[in-house]
Structure 1
Amino acid sequence: MPRTARVVAVAVAAALSLAGCGASGSGSPAAGSSGVTGAITVFAAASLTETFTELGRDFEAAHPGTAVKFNFAGSSALARQINQGAPADVFASASPANMRQVTDTGAVTATPTTFVRNELRIVVPRGNPAGITGLADFAEAETKIALCAEQVPCGAAAKKAFEAAGVTPRPDTLEQDVKAVLTKVRLGEVDAALVYATDVEAAGDEVEGIGFPEAEEAVNDYPIAPLAKAPNAAGARAFVDHVLSDRGRAVLTEAGFLAP
């Protein structure tokens, strides 16, 4: 082959090789990547702490270059923070009422999706030293009781359950989120409390859960939505999709959440 022809052939081969590297090398998104990058801030109900933390790790693994940051608290407090301008991408509430607080102000313009449901359980310290058997025990003066405040979804649900049972509780403390209530039980500071079934599951052997029939009268729906002014709009949509995916539903169901 003449020298000029050989030079041209080598140049063409080199160009083709570089093109192949550009299509699959480290400088391009991996196959199947959505192209989503950056921080994604999720405001989520306290009862979602364990499951969303796991889903956040899953999401980061599936979307290299992302970092999911969570703010877990009572849904009423989160709604208030969002309406006051706190920067966030996603809101996952333990109650449609608290989601409405942000849709009414225009902070959420997409239609929220109910992704799970949750119901209450009586929770007592391991061994149930006070011998709690049902909601009637919450009316006894000598029983130390912790409940969520009524403006918090678990407190609103507890109110419905007590009304259905015809019981007037006598709480010794009212907390601003369900994890704070659970902590009182775990530390043995109270004899009993009402939390979600998923919180009992997450606490493991540290506590015991007691079912009661009136729980069916107070099941909470959990809606999720991207925020209208999300700093990372693409990331917000992708994280919501992840929660609604088969993997998301599997993690939530395993934790004790009910299907919507």
Structure 2
Amino acid sequence: MKRTAPTLVAAAACVTLLAGCGGASSAPSAGTSDAGTGSSAAPQTLTVFAAASLKGTFTTLGTTFEAQHPGTTVTFSFAGSSDLVTQLQQGAPADVFASADAANMTKVVSDKLVAGSPVDFATNTLEIAVPPDNPAGVTSFADLSKPGVRLVVCAPQVPCGAAAAKIEKATATTLAPVSEENAVTDVLGKVESGEADAGLVYVTDVRAAGDKVKGIPFDESEEAVNTYPIAALAGSRDADLAGQFVRLVTGAEGEQVLSAAGFAKP
């Protein structure tokens, strides 16, 4: 008995030691597992530069994208495409650029600011917007050239302004706008406020304005159909995330939202 007692004590100590060692080795493993499954993705921001006429649709798609990518916040800069190009050329940080025409997208492609190739995702045409009571009695594109009609258009370097100039040339009509704006939303705003008798905006802008304005379609608008391209930018902080947003816009979900707003397919 004197010999076996120490043996039993030693055995018990060994069992205790092994149990302790097993606990020590399993704890880090459990901790690592918890960290891998319990931690959430680091918050990230996707910055999108988009033409002013895309504000409604892209805001909706941004909300969809955030729901699909928890932890991601989509921020937008909406303005005239030409203004956005200038900002990008001056080094403004952004992940995605969507233009209201091919000409402005070509500028950023030429400056090697785009990753990959732009994708066309929508088309848009001009429509005349007038106040609900149409005080100047505008019923056609030709009416916009009548004396006394306070017409507001986009500046020539802005896609909606370039489209207006193209129609003006094709129809041999001379327009004398009282104001040229840097974004189509500014043109619409002047019509809504009564500062203008008429404005040349997009079909989608008239639809979005609801009963704030009256839309007057005109056949000559087919002379200038604007195609909208989108591209991920070379300077994006997350190229994969930028690409995913482009795919959302150009995919079935994006097409549905754009179509509901009045955009046509490219």
Scaled to the shorter chain, the TM-score interval is: 0.7 to 0.9
- Structure 1 residue 22 displacement after superposition: 5.4
1:200 equivalent to 2:212? Answer no
RMSD: 2.4
Query: 2:193 corresponds to which residue?
Result: 187
CA contact (8 A) 1:76 1:152 kept: yes
Q: What letter is aligned with 1:103?
A: V
**SS of residue matched to 1:224:** strand
Q: Which deviates more, 98-107 or 235-244? A: 235-244
Q: Structure 1 residue aligned with 2:173, among 164, 167, 170?
A: 167
- Matching of residue 241 in structure 1 with residue 247 in structure 2: yes
CA contact (8 A) 1:38 1:232 kept: no
SS at match of 1:77: helix
Structure 1 runs of 4+ with >2 Å offset: 21-29
Q: CA deviation at 1:229?
A: 1.1
TM-score of the superposed pair, with normalisation by structure 2: 0.86
- Report the AA paired with residue 192 of structure 1: A
Deviation at 1:241, TM superposition (A): 1.1
- Give distance in 2, aligned partners of 1:37 and 1:28: 9
- 2:39: which partner in 1? 27
2: CA distance between counterparts of 1:215 and 1:26? 56
User: After the TM superposition, which residues 120-131 of structure 1 pair with which residues of structure 2 at under 5 Å, given as runs?
Assistant: 120-131=126-137
Amino acid at match of 2:110: D
- CA separation of 1:192 and 1:81: change in aligned 2, threshold 3 A: same
For 2:243 and 2:38, locate their aligned partners in 1 and report how far apart those are by CA, in whole Å.
25
SS of structure 2 residue aligned to 1:98: helix
Per the TM alignment, residue 213 of structure 1 is displaced from its structure 2 partner at its CA by 0.6
Partner residue in 1 for 2:238 = 232
Between 157-166 and 183-192, the greater mean CA deviation after superposition: 157-166
Deviation at 1:141, TM superposition (A): 2.2
2:76 alignment counterpart:
70
Q: Give the C-alpha shift of residue 28 in structure 1.
A: 6.0
Match of 1:54 in 2: 60
Q: Please say if residues 37 and 235 of structure 1, whose CA atoms lie closer than 8 Å, have aligned partners that are also in contact.
A: no
Point out the structure with max Rg over C-alpha.
Answer: 2
TM-score between both structures, scaled by the size of structure 1: 0.88
Letter in 2 for 1:245: G
The one-letter code matched in structure 1 to 2:151 is I
Residue identity matched to 2:257: V
- SS in structure 2 at match of 1:240: helix
The percent identity for this pair of structures is: 51
State the distance in 1 between where 2:76 and 2:35 align. 35
Q: Deviations over 1:38-75 (max 9, x none)?
A: 10000000000010011101100110010101000000
SS at match of 2:57: helix
Distance in 1, matches of 2:141 and 2:217, equals 10
- The one-letter code sitting in structure 2 at the alignment partner of 1:168 is T
What corresponds to 2:10 in structure 1? none
Which one of the candidate residues 93, 103, 114 is aligned to 2:109? 103
Q: 1:44 aligns with which of 31, 43, 50?
A: 50
Q: Quick one: structure 1 residues 86 and 143, their matched pair in 2 at CA, closer, same or farther if it must change by over 3 Å?
A: same
Partners in 1 of 2:37 and 2:83 — Cα distance? Answer: 46
Pair 1:130–1:242, CA change in 2 (3 A): same
